[in-house]
Structure 1
């Protein structure tokens, strides 16, 4: 029997039942079992159909009843196995139907769960549909974690209703490395709206100077920074999403859809023209001074944090904490740690005279939208900037010309650097030598961070896919280390076995 929180909803008609199926498809994840109970005609099949069509992102998906086959499997974004146990001979047959394997790899949707009560997981989500007046009553009993996810999607449905989109057919868009997730829905003219689901994050353990990682790295903890930077950049002619509605307390935003086309081709390779336009957009941004304090609401002003010594140092420590032991099988010695951190302390001192302005922080291919029919800087849609800081402008140039997830070949790299430097020279008052020193330091800082981050994602989080970026990251680091200001770091990396010295 399922134990946990109880959620009760009145569904006034068939459309409301479909909407609940739509919402649940955005709440469930692999490993969840949704058990649907109710009399014949209570709406189980309708809800299951809406659920499956949402995950498939296909309103026309054929969803046959598995009454006779007992199970129907769907290879979707999350695999779903739809079980109908009405004709199950014995509950032990559930194993023969592949239930355990299906649950391990995806979601199990079970109608008539009463026929295998003892074989279903006790952690299942139980949903009972009963007739009530002219509608239905849905009673959901779920474990705490699953109930929280369900309450969240229902809160988003209420948010959409308040915004005038209560009937929206929601679709999953993407999740990112943070707690943010995105969905979309279409309007009658086929245009889309984007919904940002930004749940308030947990505090997290202290990891540096008694503070949790997000506070040291100055990562945005709520929606105020996103709105502040979006509005400020858009007022200056840049293409950032318009904010249609926001609930700051819950972390829910309804924003403009800037498009779906990126700056890579269908094989994941950089499109030179689009990268060049991105660099031109960045040069234009660096030509104007962005205020550090931005009024967001009548009661809230966002202060853009500085990319300070603590944040830079914490990030480059990832090499010490994760990369070296992975690379050579032994952790760094105390002497190696002390020397490395002293080198970085000096390099950060060298940045005191560097040009500073707004840093978008992750200005690279995943966060850039190509807008073919626009002109100038509006060709470049910017969609990720909530963690923006004030710091050396060279950081963002390193982000795009050394794209962490894409190989930028030397010819394109030189073209992009030449484009940026030419545009900055034309603006006047540009210290090119100082900028190039800052670029080398910021490139090294970013790539040292990534060299450790890829290993941490593998060893701590079990995410092996990021390791494919390691050779590229180290090749980018080698380029940065060519600058004379980084000679001590270059020698240290060679001795530590991170980046060998080329003969």
Structure 2
């Protein structure tokens, strides 16, 4: 077990948890570390260490306070020292939606219904005090595919044409996300906690520090085209209908925008997962690329993606696309 970070004992003592036992938890794709603190009476809290310069807990705290102020189920903030990277938060337990569904597959539909309903509640709120999900951000994210995945495949592609295609495809989205909604940006089964011991209970939100103001379809895509678990297409369709019912209807362009945002997000994720391997030495994410690529192909089939689909046809060989972007052994 790695050593505990410097400053942990001082922070927990100041927060009133100095006598608690400290249990490190496994991490994911960032420099953040998490610990469970447990008192002798069984009471628990979660300690997040997001140390500068690689991490900054201030955005997490900003979004968490806003969500909790608006009756969304983010963890309560028990103590904070953003300058040193420390945040003590409510313990949501161990029942992540992803893990729960692995053990209780029959709960899949009610769990997704509850997740969709939580999104609908978020979208009924005015947008939060966050930066806009503007064209520069959409373009920067989509470009991760040409910056990382294409070179990893030995491809030289038309990067200027790629940006132009996305500009044409995403312009209608920008026009329809004003005033917009709060977009959590990483809303999927590994970032949703089941708080009541069953799938249909209120769901806790985590990993929302990158929130922006954007289009209501974005987090829906994140949930229903999950990079980390298979969501059957019939369930995706059913949950889209459930969302429509929960928000009282959608405009005629919503499903086209859903495909646009799905393609943009999936292109971004392919690039990120490649970067995690090539730059950060985390090859486990490569195994998820075929799932993401399959969703990308479904999105590209929508007529709204015409310019981007044409770019893929001209720049990405059929052999790579047929194997859904999987890396050679």
When normalised by structure 1's length, the TM-score is 0.59
1:170 aligns with 2:4: no
Shift of 1:161: 1.0
Measure the CA separation in 2 of the matches of 1:161 and 1:241.
Answer: 21
Partner residue of 2:96 out of 259, 262, 268: 262
1:341 aligns with 2:167: no
Partner residue of 2:135 out of 290, 309, 316: 309
Give unpaired runs (5+ residues) of structure 2. 323-329
1:288 maps to 125
Native 8 Å contact 1:268 1:406 kept in 2:
no
Shift of 1:461: 2.5
2:196 maps to 372
1:425 aligns with 2:248: yes
SS at match of 1:249: helix
Partner residue of 2:172 out of 335, 350, 363: 350
1:360 maps to 184
Measure the CA separation in 1 of the matches of 2:9 and 2:203.
Answer: 31
Measure the CA separation in 2 of the matches of 1:491 and 1:351.
Answer: 19
Shift of 1:372: 2.7
1:330 aligns with 2:152: no
Q: Which has the higher contact order (CA 8 A, sep 6+)?
A: 2
Q: Deviations over 1:134-193 (max 9, x none)?
A: xxxxxxxxxxxxxxxx6xx34110111111222221010132322211001212332311
Shift of 1:421: 1.5
Measure the CA separation in 2 of the matches of 1:412 and 1:375.
Answer: 16
Q: Deviations over 1:246-298 (max 9, x none)?
A: 01211101110122112233369682221221011101111111331xxxxxx
1:440 aligns with 2:283: no
Distance change (3 Å), C-alpha of 1:389 and 1:436:
same
Native 8 Å contact 2:95 2:197 kept in 1:
no
Q: What is the root-mean-square deviation in Å for CA atoms of aligned residues?
A: 2.2
Shift of 1:463: 2.0
1:116 maps to none
1:159 aligns with 2:11: yes
Shift of 1:452: 1.8
Measure the CA separation in 2 of the matches of 1:399 and 1:390.
Answer: 15
Measure the CA separation in 2 of the matches of 1:167 and 1:470.
Answer: 44
Moved over 6 A (4+): none
Distance change (3 Å), C-alpha of 1:342 and 1:494:
same
Shift of 1:342: 0.5
SS at match of 1:271: helix
Measure the CA separation in 2 of the matches of 1:406 and 1:266.
Answer: 10
Measure the CA separation in 1 of the matches of 2:36 and 2:215.
Answer: 35
Q: Larger strand proportion, structure 1 or 2?
A: 1
Native 8 Å contact 1:354 1:435 kept in 2:
no
Measure the CA separation in 1 of the matches of 2:199 and 2:230.
Answer: 27
Native 8 Å contact 1:493 1:499 kept in 2:
no
Measure the CA separation in 1 of the matches of 2:294 and 2:198.
Answer: 35
Measure the CA separation in 2 of the matches of 1:361 and 1:165.
Answer: 32
Measure the CA separation in 2 of the matches of 1:166 and 1:230.
Answer: 24
Measure the CA separation in 2 of the matches of 1:268 and 1:344.
Answer: 40
Shift of 1:225: 2.2
When normalised by structure 2's length, the TM-score is 0.88
1:408 aligns with 2:227: no
1:278 aligns with 2:115: yes
Q: How many residues align?
A: 314
Give unpaired runs (5+ residues) of structure 1. 1-24, 28-149, 203-220, 293-303
Larger Rg: 1
Partner residue of 1:395 out of 186, 195, 218: 218
Measure the CA separation in 1 of the matches of 2:45 and 2:243.
Answer: 33
1:467 aligns with 2:286: yes
